[in-house]
């Protein structure tokens, strides 16, 4: 089954404690992306990757890091989480050709930073 998986699904942590949210896709997609969803703001892109070792900032990258060492995985790293990073996070992937291909979303990770 084609899917994007994220782990963990729910996470409660404290300010400053480094954490990683994993994302994996089994569709051999070149493109992967992280979004955060906040009430009234919709989804905003954090980082994206066009291929292995190619990453770029989205609209709200501050406080986040990513890496793309393998095509299937795109982890999101919060080195020193703060309460304003409490949010619902989604990973997505798609192929790059043809343009406009559907992005497939993971189930989401709900993060609470105390």
Partner 1 sequence: AQSVTQLGSHVSVSEGALVLLRCNYSSSVPPYLFWYVQYPNQGLQLLLKYTSAATLVKGINGFEAEFKKSETSFHLTKPSAHMSDAAEYFCAVTNSFGNEKLTFGTGTRLTIIP
Per the DSSP assignment, residues forming a β-bridge with 71 are none
Whichever of 50 and 82 has its CB closer to partner 1, that residue is 50
Stretch that binds partner 1, among 14-22, 67-75, 76-84, 95-103 (CB under 8 A): 95-103
The one among 99, 111, 112, 113 contacting partner 1 by CB under 8 A: 99
Q: Rule CB under 8 A: is residue 35 a binding residue for partner 1?
A: yes
Strand ranges for 14-67 from DSSP E: 19-25, 31-38, 42-51, 54-57, 65-66
**Sheet of strand 4-7: strand arrangement:** 4-7, 19-25, 76-78, 65-66
Stretch that binds partner 1, among 11-19, 61-69, 74-82, 89-97 (CB under 8 A): 89-97
């Amino acid at each position: 089954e084609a899917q994007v998986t994220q782990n963990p699904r729910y996470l409660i942590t404290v300010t400053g404690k480094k954490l990683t949210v994993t994302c994996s896709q089994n569709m051999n997609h070149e493109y992967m992306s992280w979004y955060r969803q906040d009430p009234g703001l919709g989804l905003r892109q954090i980082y994206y990757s066009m291929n292995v070792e190619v990453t770029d900032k989205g609209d709200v990258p501050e406080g986040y890091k990513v890496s793309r060492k393998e095509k299937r995985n795109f982890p999101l790293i919060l080195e020193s989480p703060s309460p304003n990073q409490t949010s619902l996070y989604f990973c997505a992937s798609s192929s790059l050709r043809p343009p406009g291909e559907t992005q497939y979303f993971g189930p989401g990770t709900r993060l609470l930073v105390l």
